[in-house]
Structure 1
């Protein structure tokens, strides 16, 4: 498309992929990123000589050859640059004890009487009903009242602080708790041949029922930021102009067509097509369009980073999940356990993620100290293992609470975007329907193929 300019707003991994693909079709592609660096939350940083990731991110092969080559390189380059895992080694802490072979909450941790009643209800429950909009009723229909009350209600209250009835059932996928551990491993395997029980019972080990496509993580001393950095380099090599520390503050419309975007430095960019990979609310505001939907609720995200003098007590799992409602810790990444290369570094560092309300910004030191107490209490790190370095980062209100209202508003927002912009395409989580990184990348790839072909015919 000669003399056509495309603007990509948002420089996370989705925006980078979109810009790279757009560069194959458009004469000029400009990527706008508000932060100092592109890559979004799929980044890494060094602190006191040790490398940390912004959360736990293990992307997997997509099985789309062209897309995998863009994301990971040729097959030889993938082998050279990335470790591949058939499954992720994980454990979870719930009701004061560890499940050493699964990230799923275990019903076996409940008091005997509660467990027995819960099993009866689960076996007699009618099964999951995808058309049920009330999440609490959906849970009861799937797992029974006892497990809903004693497992799902407290865990989701801890993570999201929202009534079950208001949540959307997709929260189960977001936190990876669509199923529970119950009964014995052998009985579970037998029951999972029945669809009703396959929907609610999880394998007792993460080695069973593992995904067919492997997970990836960079080799050597690199963090997950290496992955986004590699795509950043490819995007530059493709001829994309990347403007960091910039954001769109005004959109100039001619009827519904975007003629140009104005950046915070006063510069204007004339454009033929815009790919928008950040919140759609910001596009409507920049165009002066009144927003008809209700603003979503968010949970704040805090990261607590620690380095210790000696090895952890947990020497095997790559990450841990804390479902225990008495604790604020949620997900814990154990960096020396991720790859063999990491373990050879003999740097004993970890990151703990905490979801809470906005008051976390003023309680960061308290959160750091409480998390340290918790990882010692859970016997992840011994009490005599000295802390060499610690850091707490308040990431802001970055975790939307997935309520039915939120999903409904997202659909309304998408409709409003389509009604007001004829040459703006939503990508990423704001486009609705996808939440996981691989799904978002595949969706972006497919959209760029289709849209570029359609646009090429104009």
Structure 2
């Protein structure tokens, strides 16, 4: 009997287990938590309103076999609200731009803007800087870095973080801090023909990005969200699909020890003392745990993690935005950086919203009143709207601060693990190769196919 072990029960692990069940007689998915799904889970308040643990909007990968796993269910267990364009926007300098998440430099003081434009247009050489501060100063220019990008990075990773320690080359996303809007639409189209300016100059509208994808023969993405529920419903149906195919899912369990011979994993011992013989290990958990289980050298670097505070609230009146699926807030006046608008994601109208804040462990907890006040100040919640229910969810160790040391440790540990065993596939965000979920799933699919061939 050919056996494969999948470690890590997030969407990547679940999808991989279904793909691998087509190739292996037995697939065992091992998850150390109490449930699979990772951060893609939903919560309820005391009135039964449903919110997600962050902004998670499932999107197609462009790979038919993967998308069939993710979005096609027998008997239509999920009634999808699906859309081709993901509507977003951003708040900066006291006003909203509902066309793109990219900061508009034209909102700066006129004198500052003109200085910044000169630097921006003069910076047309590629940068080889390995820290994000130097990289952005050399590409955006010092003025736009100081007034546009730096406040974003401070909001995400802490105002006291040494920006020169933050890595340029990392899978951890800077959420668009490396691009700006700076000119009118016609001039932007002309300037984006220059390859270096194209890297740092954003589109004015999401429709322009759609046109770019079509012109370059990229597959157009489709986005999905459960019509009357949260994203955890998607996870539940993926679990049902995996189990219906015979995937065995074990929670509250870790890989305790890896046994190998001649550079190939023969078996693993689980924390429940079971020993499982295996032909392949698909690892979508942090590689450091596999290195520990295999008694391999570990590049010891303890990353700094940010604590996420997610405000979940429901109001008695609709929000003042009936267009956007989610929003970014780049204004330094508020710590909120991302907002999910559920009325625009699903047909069930509850006037619910989630807003995310990142703080250090040592800082005070973010409160519901703080968050609601920020949403009112941004004009998102009407002044006469009353909060009906809500709470603040605290999640430790969510966003790692992407220092150069973190990037180096991630790369070294990945290389050590993949070099040690010929039959291990290291995937997921923890591989250090990508951050966005659809990219993670593409890599997983390619890894599995390449190994099979």
Normalising to structure 1: TM-score of the pair? 0.89
Contact map agreement 1:157 1:163 (CA 8 A) in 2:
no
Alpha-carbon spacing, 1:153–1:292, altered in 2? closer, same or farther (3 Å): same
Unaligned runs of 5+ in 2: 214-218
Which residue number in structure 2 is paired with residue 303 of structure 1?
310
Deviates more, 1:350-359 or 1:171-180: 171-180
Aligned pairs for 1:150-165 (under 5 A) are 150-161=147-158, 162-165=161-164
Counterpart CA distance in 2 for 1:287 and 1:367 is 43
Which residue number in structure 2 is paired with residue 448 of structure 1?
448
Note the alpha carbon deviations across 1:273-314, whole angstroms, 9 max, x for none: 211101011112233334233222222222111111111122
Residue 358 (structure 2) pairs with residue 355 (structure 1): yes
Note the alpha carbon deviations across 1:51-75, whole angstroms, 9 max, x for none: 2112112232222222222222289
Residue 255 (structure 2) pairs with residue 248 (structure 1): yes
TM-aligned CA deviation for residue 422 of structure 1:
3.8
Which residue number in structure 1 is paired with residue 8 of structure 2?
10
Normalising to structure 2: TM-score of the pair? 0.90
Note the alpha carbon deviations across 1:190-248, whole angstroms, 9 max, x for none: 22222232222112222221355223123420322233223222211111111122222
Give the secondary structure class of the aligned counterpart of 1:359: coil
Alpha-carbon spacing, 1:200–1:50, altered in 2? closer, same or farther (3 Å): same
TM-aligned CA deviation for residue 384 of structure 1:
2.9
Residue 36 (structure 2) pairs with residue 38 (structure 1): yes
Counterpart CA distance in 2 for 1:452 and 1:125 is 46
Which residue number in structure 2 is paired with residue 456 of structure 1?
none
TM-aligned CA deviation for residue 76 of structure 1:
11
Counterpart CA distance in 1 for 2:249 and 2:75 is 29
Pick from 25, 28, 35: which aligns with 1:27?
A: 25
TM-aligned CA deviation for residue 254 of structure 1:
4.6
Which residue number in structure 1 is paired with residue 101 of structure 2?
103
Contact map agreement 2:152 2:177 (CA 8 A) in 1:
no
Give the secondary structure class of the aligned counterpart of 2:440: helix
Counterpart CA distance in 1 for 2:418 and 2:446 is 19
TM-aligned CA deviation for residue 158 of structure 1:
1.8
TM-aligned CA deviation for residue 328 of structure 1:
1.2
Give the secondary structure class of the aligned counterpart of 2:209: coil
Contact map agreement 1:248 1:261 (CA 8 A) in 2:
yes
Counterpart CA distance in 2 for 1:159 and 1:285 is 30
Counterpart CA distance in 2 for 1:289 and 1:74 is 41
Pick from 218, 222, 225: which aligns with 2:229?
A: 222
Contact map agreement 2:119 2:143 (CA 8 A) in 1:
yes
Contact map agreement 2:153 2:174 (CA 8 A) in 1:
no
Residue 178 (structure 2) pairs with residue 178 (structure 1): yes
Aligned-pair RMSD on alpha carbons? 2.4
Deviates more, 1:229-238 or 1:162-171: 162-171
Which residue number in structure 1 is paired with residue 377 of structure 2?
377
Which residue number in structure 1 is paired with residue 326 of structure 2?
319
Aligned pairs for 1:295-444 (under 5 A) are 295-339=302-346, 341=347, 345-359=348-362, 363-364=364-365, 366-444=366-444
Counterpart CA distance in 2 for 1:367 and 1:270 is 49
Residue 245 (structure 2) pairs with residue 238 (structure 1): yes
Contact map agreement 1:58 1:215 (CA 8 A) in 2:
no
Note the alpha carbon deviations across 1:79-116, whole angstroms, 9 max, x for none: x8433333221221123222232211111221111011
Contact map agreement 2:84 2:222 (CA 8 A) in 1:
yes
Aligned pairs for 1:22-101 (under 5 A) are 22-47=20-45, 48-73=47-72, 81-101=79-99
Residue 151 (structure 2) pairs with residue 144 (structure 1): no
Give the secondary structure class of the aligned counterpart of 2:182: coil
Residue 114 (structure 2) pairs with residue 116 (structure 1): yes
Unaligned runs of 5+ in 1: 454-458
Counterpart CA distance in 2 for 1:43 and 1:66 is 24
Contact map agreement 2:225 2:345 (CA 8 A) in 1:
no
Count of residue correspondences: 442
TM-aligned CA deviation for residue 269 of structure 1:
2.6
Alpha-carbon spacing, 1:367–1:359, altered in 2? closer, same or farther (3 Å): farther
Counterpart CA distance in 1 for 2:122 and 2:4 is 56
Contact map agreement 1:334 1:351 (CA 8 A) in 2:
yes
Give the secondary structure class of the aligned counterpart of 1:30: strand
Which residue number in structure 1 is paired with residue 167 of structure 2?
168
